[in-house]
Structure 1
Amino acid sequence: MAVSSADQRRLAPWPRFGSGALETVHVRRLIDVVNARLYSADHRALLLLKCMMSSELPAHLYDQAAEAILGFRYSMLESGSDSMTLWTESHQVTAAVAEYLAGQLYPTRIFSNDGRSGARHQRAAQAQLTIWLSDRFRFGFSEWLSSTYYAYDLAALALLVDHAADEALVERATMVMDIALLDLALHSFNGRVVPSMGRAYTEQIMHPETAEIAPIWASAFGQAPDIDVDKVTSLFLARERYEVPAAICELATCQPERRVLSSHGLDVEEVRDELRRHPFHPRSQSLDLIRFWWGQQAVTTPETIVDSARAMRVFDLQNSRILAPMRRYIKLPNPVLISTLRTMNPITSGKALNRANVQTIRTSNYQLSSVQRYRPGGFGDQQHIWHASLPGDIEVFGTHPGSSQLNLENRPATPSNWEGNGINPDVAQHYNVLLAQYNLHERRGRFEGPRQELVHIHFPFVQFDQTRLGAGWAAGRRGRGYIGILGTHTFELISETEIVQRGQHTGYAVLVGDEEEHISFAAFLEQLKQYRLRLIGDRLTLTSPFGRFDLTWGKDFKVNGQIIDCDYPRYDAPGVQVPRNPSEMTVTGTKHRLRLDWASGVRESTAL
């Protein structure tokens, strides 16, 4: 049963050694991964540190764990060739938390990878964490609303809050945990976190109950699940100090109907200016830019390539297996490097996580979420552009299947069949109506596999209570929630979960509704028949007796002739109105209010 205050929730403590699965085999497995520096070894380092600080390990096992922690590589600035990607936004914080706590634990010991003392590691990590936390509060998360990476961020910050000695750092980390949970509260549906996302994985968007964020959402806003000591997210489940503000709990559990507009992150092009005028941490050095750009995975864009190549040379990253595609280009002169990049047109430019303007509309019977006008015609990667959810675990979304010639040793290459888009569509949403236009004529890129001339939609027919499929439309009902999709081209039924629309230039419209608005599914279908969708040139037009929607590729989005502004503030939602790049926020629930003031470090929760 949902609760409205974190004080009412009982959390399970982190287990002692010898209880449950926390045995010698488990701890040694953590040690082995940390020593091998495998992908996500920073997550294993967090779990190992938690065991060392809270599980009363036997002396011989503790010593082995300590040696692994003292020999770990915590930053891309340290030497070493391995499979870790310590520069992405989420890995920056997980690695920095591990480094801070390791340094705090062993201030006088020498860390063998770089010869620095624990105290120096702690100071370096604290400096990086201070900036990372400030940037998240001010700009939001580049990996917007990710059901994977928000979970890792929250787990790392929960561990920091529990064990860091610096109370000022703890307070800042607590405030960033608040805004991450606020994002989840505003963009979730029936406990499922499946809005538009900056980084998404197939299994988790088709089956959100398997996502890393699922137990964290349950722990924060519902019934705390059992702790699995092999999952880094359990660090949040076993938190000792952090309490979810009542106002955020109320938004998550007591507000079935809402429309949310929110802005997340920065465009690659605006990073330099925004960091220069940052009110708390102004900066303009190349390393500072690289940390932010690489945090948003903007390694190979025209704006970043010169600094990226310099960073690879200075920090000896030429042998990084993850950055291998760049190796042959980093020694080119700067002007040649930029022109070569433009000629190559690599699909890796699509990894860059630019600013996301996300709209989510939710009732008790449906949710529709999308990122507005996100780099149409550009390459995609893991960005999840739009998603619709109905009761009963119905998940509907569409992509242009991508194909990459790059081989990654830690996970399948992206974009892929359902992850991300080969070519990004132009998408705009107005309340419960979404238009999507795909233009696959764009120039091919380096490392791109065969380009499919089709788009497809995940539409799980067998899970609906009722479905209908016509030549150019599909519709379904689950419970009291309805969804209809109209296409400019014929829909082909490929399987019981997939429909396809073929062509290089296509479009479709998505409409969601429910019984409260339409009385019945039959009435919804009758209204759907009154809509007409046309694609003429670069304009996708949806008309009906109820209104007209026009989406012109890369230009205006109009509703009934009025241009719709798709440039959103940080938050515009019931209970939360915050401008972009804020220094303070106020969150108002049904019975409580939360005030966050970054400048003064004030976090204040009060009853209304």
Structure 2
Amino acid sequence: MVGAAIAAAGVSLPGGVAAAAGRGGAKARCAVPGVTPDDVLVPPGSTGLINERYYQRRIKAYLDYATDFERFGSPPGIATHLIQAHRDPDYEWNITGVTVDELARVWTQIDEWRDTRDFNFMYLNWVYVLGRGDTPMTTIDPAVITAIEQRLIANRYRYNDPLPDDRVDHLWYWSENHRIIVLANELLAGQFLPDEVFTVTGLTGAEHATRAKPDILEWIDERARFGFFEWHSNVYMAKNITPLLMLCELSDDAEIVQAAAMALDLCLFDMASHYHRGSYVAPHGRTYKKDKMTARDADTYGFGKFLFDDTDPDFVTPTDTTTTFFCAAKRYRPPFLIHKVAREDDPTVTRERHGVYVDASEPINDNPVAPFGYDFDDSANLNFWWSTGGIGMWQLADMSVAEADKYRLWEGDAFQLITQLRDVNGGDVERIKAWEQANHMILNLGFLAEGNTYAYRTQQVALASVLDHRKGEMRDQVHMWQATIDTEARVFTNHPMTDVAASTDWGEDGEPGYWTGEASMPRSAQYRNSAIHIYQPAYDETTDPILAVVFAYRDFTHAYFPQDHFDEIVQLGNWTIGAKDGGFIALWSWRDPEWRAYDPTVNATNGMTEPFDLVAPGGPDNVWICEVSTED
């Protein structure tokens, strides 16, 4: 694993991983019993860690930028000023602007048990700690502190916790990132308020913290064993990094601090080994149009800029939900090797395997064999399986329907489409299983499966793909491959489900849509600087009459090739070649490609004036070949 690689390179790690048999594999354990949370990690400035003077300069650069803004309705915006005030006793800011009323939208989301409220709890935990300082500039209105405490106590932390008859919980608890965020929030809520009785469960805070700990360690063990289910996500890797840092810095449990630091090393190494000129240049298990058309829109951009500083564009938001809290970190520092890998100029190849393979097309039987002992019919494994996105697998239908019935999951906003698919089959589990098995290439659109990724980097250009991944099948949020020169000059292909959005909002798209996801996955292969992507859908309108209406894909494939962001574009036959700053990207289409014209008053162009949408009409089957090179 990556942690072992870092250790082998001679970098001081904040602990080790001891093997344990049975489900979950390797178990994160504290290497030195009796140590405290403050001394379990190698201290900042130690040999093997990132240079501390450099790190402090990066903190200053971000805080100098971010504290020019007042965002008192945003917990990260508040935290930015509190962090600066803790660092600089002479710093002054409008601390009286932090009021209960300013945070009204945050309270509403939490009080109504809306989805992603766990994100705001994560940021409020920092406000709660930083805002109870001992100076005027680090002591926020006590009413805000009380409001946070009230909501920590009143929150529901598990999908199977008691649910009042008059309430609906809309939180999606089950993705890889939500799982660790919710667990980290539960542990810290219990730590902060150990003697309080929490409303939903009747447990004390201390009991909640005790309940959360083994599940946090289990999640970390999964990452050591299986990698990341949401592999290389330029959206959700940030949502793994932020809760892990929060545990490193705010937990009072040394074992949790150490395990979280180990997992954090893995996250940062993953980013570093796929980092190029400000871009997280990897295929992404999950992403969206709003995040992938330019590196500056990715949730990982600001943190990459902060940690690696290898691109000219500046920070893009003063409320970056990852960078902000790294500026407050006192215990954790990244290994120097991570920084060195990110800044490597020599050509590199990175090959990785993430996730779990399951054949959703296998014939239905009463006892499907589950990999690694995670039985499909054991509700204790629901969090694991749903975090793979496999909610549409027939193997999980019995357990999924039973749990959804038992805990009223159908009523949540996030279950609307799933509920419709259940109702089409009259709620009959056997019919659901048969339908899912026959239409696995469509209904299992969220399954992240096993991702074998390959990335090639040079100083001037990068190329990365996920190899032979669910070929011909639909994926709702995947990003298959990408060739990259810098934050803006990038190329990738796509089989669209919908037509281009009739909107001037650049981020608007479906899931899958015109740029987001894939209506059908290509079969991809790559060796160093060359890759081939063969599109051949495994389903069509004859597969299922109902699904043909809901999931009617476009009769073409296309490429994003933004001419505005290259120094030169040349077309030779079916080749389109872009050049910039010593890097070259060449793309070939078997079907004759043509530029699609956009009217910016009808379809968003993000300010681009030259065509960027290279369409290969004539059918959804096509072959695209990409080769990257340098002027050397």
TM range (shorter): 0.7 to 0.9
CA distance in 1, matches of 2:218, 2:555: 44
Letter in 1 for 2:397: I
Q: 1:457, 1:500 within 8 Å by CA — same for their partners in 2?
A: yes
1:119 and 2:243 aligned: no
Of residues 495, 516, 519, the one that matches 1:422 is 519
Q: 1:151, 1:233 within 8 Å by CA — same for their partners in 2?
A: no
Q: CA deviation at 1:331?
A: 7.4
Deviation sequence 1:246-295 (CA, Å, 0-9, x none): 1111111134420111111112359975442xxxxx88871232111111
Q: Map of 1:79-118 to 2, 5 A cutoff? A: 79=163, 81-118=168-205
Length, aligned pairs only: 504
Q: CA deviation at 1:356?
A: 0.6
CA distance in 1, matches of 2:350, 2:550: 35
Moved more, 433-442 or 147-156: 433-442
2:44 aligned partner: none
CA distance in 2, matches of 1:205, 1:508: 20
1:370 aligned partner: 465
Specify whether residues 244 and 53 from structure 1 end up closer, same or farther in structure 2 by C-alpha distance, changes over 3 A only.
same
Of residues 315, 327, 331, the one that matches 1:241 is 331
Specify whether residues 331 and 493 from structure 1 end up closer, same or farther in structure 2 by C-alpha distance, changes over 3 A only.
closer
SS across alignment from 1:268: coil
Q: CA deviation at 1:392?
A: 6.1
Deviation sequence 1:491-534 (CA, Å, 0-9, x none): 01114101111213211211111111xxxxxxxxxxxxxxxxxx
Q: 1:258, 1:362 within 8 Å by CA — same for their partners in 2?
A: yes
Q: CA deviation at 1:219?
A: 2.8
1:461 and 2:567 aligned: no
Specify whether residues 432 and 20 from structure 1 end up closer, same or farther in structure 2 by C-alpha distance, changes over 3 A only.
farther
Specify whether residues 225 and 433 from structure 1 end up closer, same or farther in structure 2 by C-alpha distance, changes over 3 A only.
closer
With the length of structure 1 as denominator, give the TM-score of the two structures.
Answer: 0.77
Specify whether residues 412 and 206 from structure 1 end up closer, same or farther in structure 2 by C-alpha distance, changes over 3 A only.
closer
Moved more, 72-81 or 189-198: 72-81
1:513 aligned partner: 629
CA distance in 1, matches of 2:316, 2:552: 44
1:317 and 2:409 aligned: yes
2:66 aligned partner: none
Deviation sequence 1:529-573 (CA, Å, 0-9, x none): xxxxxxxxxxxxxxxxxxxxxxxxxxxxxxxxxxxxxxxxxxxxx
2:532 aligned partner: 435
Of residues 225, 240, 246, the one that matches 1:159 is 246
1:44 aligned partner: 120
Deviation sequence 1:66-120 (CA, Å, 0-9, x none): 1122111222223352432111110111111111100111112122233322122
1:15 and 2:91 aligned: no
Moved more, 448-457 or 438-447: 438-447
Specify whether residues 345 and 392 from structure 1 end up closer, same or farther in structure 2 by C-alpha distance, changes over 3 A only.
closer
Q: 1:370, 1:429 within 8 Å by CA — same for their partners in 2?
A: yes
Letter in 2 for 1:193: Y
2:444 aligned partner: 349
1:538 aligned partner: none
Q: CA deviation at 1:61?
A: 1.9
2:614 aligned partner: 499
Q: CA deviation at 1:7?
A: 2.1
Runs of 5+ consecutive residues of structure 1 not aligned to the other structure: 277-281, 405-409, 517-608
Q: CA deviation at 1:389?
A: 0.2
Letter in 2 for 1:341: E
Q: 2:281, 2:463 within 8 Å by CA — same for their partners in 1?
A: no
Specify whether residues 202 and 167 from structure 1 end up closer, same or farther in structure 2 by C-alpha distance, changes over 3 A only.
same
Q: 1:300, 1:308 within 8 Å by CA — same for their partners in 2?
A: no
Q: CA deviation at 1:334?
A: 4.2
Q: CA deviation at 1:208?
A: 0.9
Moved more, 434-443 or 11-20: 11-20
CA distance in 2, matches of 1:28, 1:247: 43
SS across alignment from 1:350: coil
SS across alignment from 2:231: coil
CA distance in 2, matches of 1:392, 1:210: 9
Deviation sequence 1:306-343 (CA, Å, 0-9, x none): 22112212333121221233333597454333113335
Q: 2:377, 2:398 within 8 Å by CA — same for their partners in 1?
A: no
SS across alignment from 1:462: helix
Q: CA deviation at 1:233?
A: 5.1
CA distance in 1, matches of 2:326, 2:173: 21
Q: CA deviation at 1:64?
A: 1.5
Give the % identical residues.
22
Specify whether residues 214 and 449 from structure 1 end up closer, same or farther in structure 2 by C-alpha distance, changes over 3 A only.
same
Q: CA deviation at 1:418?
A: 0.5
Specify whether residues 230 and 182 from structure 1 end up closer, same or farther in structure 2 by C-alpha distance, changes over 3 A only.
closer
Q: 1:159, 1:236 within 8 Å by CA — same for their partners in 2?
A: no
CA distance in 2, matches of 1:76, 1:268: 25
Specify whether residues 323 and 390 from structure 1 end up closer, same or farther in structure 2 by C-alpha distance, changes over 3 A only.
same
Q: 2:509, 2:516 within 8 Å by CA — same for their partners in 1?
A: no
2:72 aligned partner: none
Q: 1:156, 1:235 within 8 Å by CA — same for their partners in 2?
A: no
1:143 aligned partner: 230
CA distance in 2, matches of 1:248, 1:220: 10
Q: Map of 1:91-490 to 2, 5 A cutoff? A: 91-222=178-309, 228-229=318-319, 231=321, 234-269=324-359, 273-276=370-373, 286-327=378-419, 328-329=422-423, 332=427, 334-343=429-438, 347-391=442-486, 393-403=488-498, 413-440=510-537, 442-444=539-541, 446=547, 448-490=550-592
Q: 2:510, 2:516 within 8 Å by CA — same for their partners in 1?
A: no
Deviation sequence 1:359-394 (CA, Å, 0-9, x none): 000101110000000100111111100001014620
Specify whether residues 34 and 371 from structure 1 end up closer, same or farther in structure 2 by C-alpha distance, changes over 3 A only.
same
Letter in 2 for 1:70: I
Letter in 2 for 1:249: H
Q: 1:480, 1:514 within 8 Å by CA — same for their partners in 2?
A: yes
Q: Map of 1:526-545 to 2, 5 A cutoff? A: none
Which one has a larger percent strand, Structure 1 or Structure 2?
1
SS across alignment from 2:52: helix
Letter in 2 for 1:315: Y
Specify whether residues 292 and 268 from structure 1 end up closer, same or farther in structure 2 by C-alpha distance, changes over 3 A only.
farther
1:63 and 2:160 aligned: no
SS across alignment from 2:492: strand
Q: 2:394, 2:433 within 8 Å by CA — same for their partners in 1?
A: yes
Letter in 2 for 1:165: D
Runs of 5+ consecutive residues of structure 2 not aligned to the other structure: 1-47, 64-78, 86-91, 133-139, 361-367, 500-506, 598-610
SS across alignment from 2:280: coil
1:35 and 2:111 aligned: yes
SS across alignment from 1:174: helix
Specify whether residues 283 and 38 from structure 1 end up closer, same or farther in structure 2 by C-alpha distance, changes over 3 A only.
same
Deviation sequence 1:196-219 (CA, Å, 0-9, x none): 000012132111112111122233
Specify whether residues 465 and 230 from structure 1 end up closer, same or farther in structure 2 by C-alpha distance, changes over 3 A only.
closer
Specify whether residues 424 and 448 from structure 1 end up closer, same or farther in structure 2 by C-alpha distance, changes over 3 A only.
farther
Q: 2:278, 2:295 within 8 Å by CA — same for their partners in 1?
A: no
Deviation sequence 1:34-80 (CA, Å, 0-9, x none): 22333311010111121111112322221112112211122222335
